[in-house]
Amino acid sequence: MTVYKKISVKGLNIFFREAGDISKPTMLLLHGFPTASHMFRYLMPLLSHKFHLIAPDFPGFGQSSSPDHTRFEYTFDHLAEVTTAFVEELNLDKFYMYVFDYGAPIGFRIALHHPDWISGIVSQNGNVYQEGLGKKWAERQDFWNHPTETKRNSYRDAFAPATIKGQYTFGTQPGTVSPDGYTLDIAYTRTAGYADRQLDLIYDYQNNIKMYPAFQAYLRQYKPKLLAVWGKNDPSFIYPGAEAFQKDDAHAKVAFVDSGHFALETHASEIARIIINYF
């Protein structure tokens, strides 16, 4: 059974899902954009016999506190700091980590600062390589190099219902993606202050790319057991980003599924089998 909880962390209410036997190895599941921990709703029951699973919503996402962006710094450094405090509050000192999309730069920051915590990593379309950046990132580089209010506002399209639905369905077979996930994500875009906090994170994403060399150095030094399982048709984080892990980590295994960015929507059972067979 999955249970739903909240815990106070640094003055914030952090919502999280928990499943599995606490005597089993823990796996921390870190979601991406524009979603929250509900993206793991299919995967958690499939892994709960093997792992103790913890899936938080980051501040500003899902059911966690979402302070106004004028009172809370929406940067990936800060989200990693809060997530680290969340881990410490739960007394987790050894765990596997499943990272997706935004969860990758947050999770790899945690691994960089606390390598002793990490038993292994699943990166599902969680990029830390230049090779994995799709075409859209060139346009964002222009915004980062020459930021203007007009360019910032142009990214409000990223929260449009059609854009969010497209993130779920692009690269998938027709009729294979349930509307549940993207409908909930669209509902969250209508919460107060959503656009401003997400626009702050889009601007800050440049600092994740600047940290890629540090993340790669972590992989070379510690060589964690790592599974890069990728929706191969993802246009945002393209599949060479999965293959690139093998340059730096001799323990990296790469697996592709015939899906897009949100591969768990269509291939949760296959991804669960791959994880169980690998770890």
Say how many CA atoms lie within 13 Å of 188 toward its Cβ: 24
Integer Cα distance of 53 and 20 in angstroms: 6
Let me know if 261 is a catalytic residue. yes
Phi, psi at residue 100, to the nearest 5°? -140, 130
**What tokens does 256 get?**
């592709």
Which of 38, 52, 69, 261 is flagged as catalytic? 261
Buried-exposed string 128-157: b where 16+ CB fall within 10 A, e elsewhere: bbeebbeeebeebeebbeeeeeeebeebee
User: Do the beta carbons of residue 117 and residue 111 sit within 8 Å?
Assistant: yes
| 56-82-194 Cα angle (round to 5) | 70
Positions marked active-site: 261
